[in-house]
Amino acid sequence: MAKTPNNDAKNDIAKQVDQLQNSMCELSDRIHSHPELALKEYEAVKWLTSELQEHGFTVEIGVGGLETAFRAAYEGASQKPVACLVVEYDALPELGHACGHNVSGVASVAAAIALSKVMSKYQLQGSIVVVGTPAEEYYAGKVTLIEAGVFEDVDFAMMVHMYDRNEASPVFLALDALTFTFKGKPAHAAGAPHEGINALNAVRLTFAGIDALRQHVREEVRIHGIVTEGGDAANIVPEKASANVYVRARERRYLDEVKEKVKNCARGAAIATGAELEIGSFEQSNDNLITNPVLIELFRKSWKNFVSEIHETGPTVGSTDMGNVSHVVPSIHPMVAMAPKGTVLHTREFADAARSEKAYEALSIASKTMGMTVVDVLTNSAVVDELRLDTDR
């Protein structure tokens, strides 16, 4: 590692993470073996917060009105600046930890614990806050925590995500989650079909309209959904049918434009069939991710000590409520290689990779790099101001 004024503290971060490695890998495996869905992550929260309390963090569970959210704090030589390490720990239905939250969440906890030891030893200015954020896969728990003021005193925030390669500034799209519910009129499907209004036809026409719309939107736009209700019996004209649709775009402004066009597909379907339409949402919206350039450059410099290949950016990954955090706090959300190249997120193969030797290596690299990045900020009083000045709002 190159000689810098904070070199000793950064070297000590690596040593602390190495000492924690066995217990952190065991914790990651335990969470992997007990996958919990959005807002039901009770065991994961218990295990993660117990680890933080054991190392001197003050813990509050149930912050922001969410039972499985938590906030843990450790104060160094001063209260400010406040570095926030974000923790995710929810799993996917059927697939378990196919996004690797068991690894990435524990990496944030390991980095925080290592930082607490180093801050005490070197009398570093500032505080460490660990925010446990439930329901990233569904519901967008961070949005609720932002609205509740959980991030108000934070100066900068970071977390990592697991991936099949190292990516510094991934593209995460803004997202809205629309529900279309059509109400028609039941009738005997064979004896008197002309007396009915087919709500399922309205859903089908909505998807047909969306398929046509895809030709006339920007390349990065993603529109996809499922039919959630389609009728009760094949011999009854469906009285009620509904669909959930995700709409995504790189920027919020353009997303709002596309979203209105998608709604018009449903409105047109309602007119065509005679069905009544109700439009709602089935989860909270995500904003696009803004990667802070100053913070990611510090992260990249430390990252290079452990990996040989770092991509600046790549294809669209998806959406995340960490994007919402990045609009209120200077943030980074790099992707750390955990799985063989070509392994796709949200698959059983990725879930298997989240409990492997490669996962343990990724946990160590992520923890060390996050910890070192925080040290870089806390040992340079001008950097926090730089973070805010260089954040593109």
Q: Identify the band that residue 390 occupies on the pLDDT scale cut at 50, 70 and 90.
A: low
Is 214:258 a contact under the CB 8 Å cutoff?
Answer: no
| Distance, C-alpha 32 to centroid of its chain | 17
pLDDT tens profile 207-260: 999 999 999 999 999 999 999 999 999 999 999 999 999 999 999 999 999 999
Q: Are residues 250 and 363 in the same domain?
A: no
Q: Are residues 321 and 223 in the same domain?
A: no
Mean pLDDT along residues 8-36: 97
Nearest-angstrom CA–CA distance, 206 and 232: 20
Torsion of CA 303, 307, 308, 309, to 10 degrees: -80
| Average predicted confidence (pLDDT) for the chain | 95
**Between residues 166 and 123, the one the model is more confident about:** 166
pLDDT of residue 313: 83
Mean pLDDT along residues 152-171: 97
The domain boundary, picked from 232, 266, 281, lies at: 281
Nearest-angstrom CA–CA distance, 214 and 26: 45
- The conformational region for residue 94 under phi > 0 = left, psi -120 to 50 = alpha, else beta, is left
Mean pLDDT along residues 89-115: 98
Count: domains in the chain: 2
Reduced to 3 states (helix: H, G, I; strand: E, B; else coil), residue 196 is: coil
Identify whether 29 is part of a domain.
yes
CATH number for 149: 3.40.630.10
Nearest-angstrom CA–CA distance, 209 and 205: 6
pLDDT tens profile 338-374: 999 999 999 999 999 999 999 999 999 999 999 999 9
pLDDT of residue 6: 81
Question: pTM of the predicted model, to two decimals?
Answer: 0.92
Nearest-angstrom CA–CA distance, 291 and 329: 10
Q: Are residues 57 and 179 in the same domain?
A: no
Nearest-angstrom CA–CA distance, 73 and 85: 10
Identify whether 91 is part of a domain.
yes
Res 1 pLDDT > 50: no
Res 264 pLDDT > 50: yes
Q: Are residues 164 and 205 in the same domain?
A: no
**Full residue range of the structural domain in which residue 194 is found:** 174-281
pLDDT tens profile 128-161: 999 999 999 999 999 999 999 999 999 999 999 9
Q: Are residues 162 and 29 in the same domain?
A: yes
Identify whether 1 is part of a domain.
no
pLDDT of residue 392: 45
The domain boundary, picked from 244, 259, 281, lies at: 281
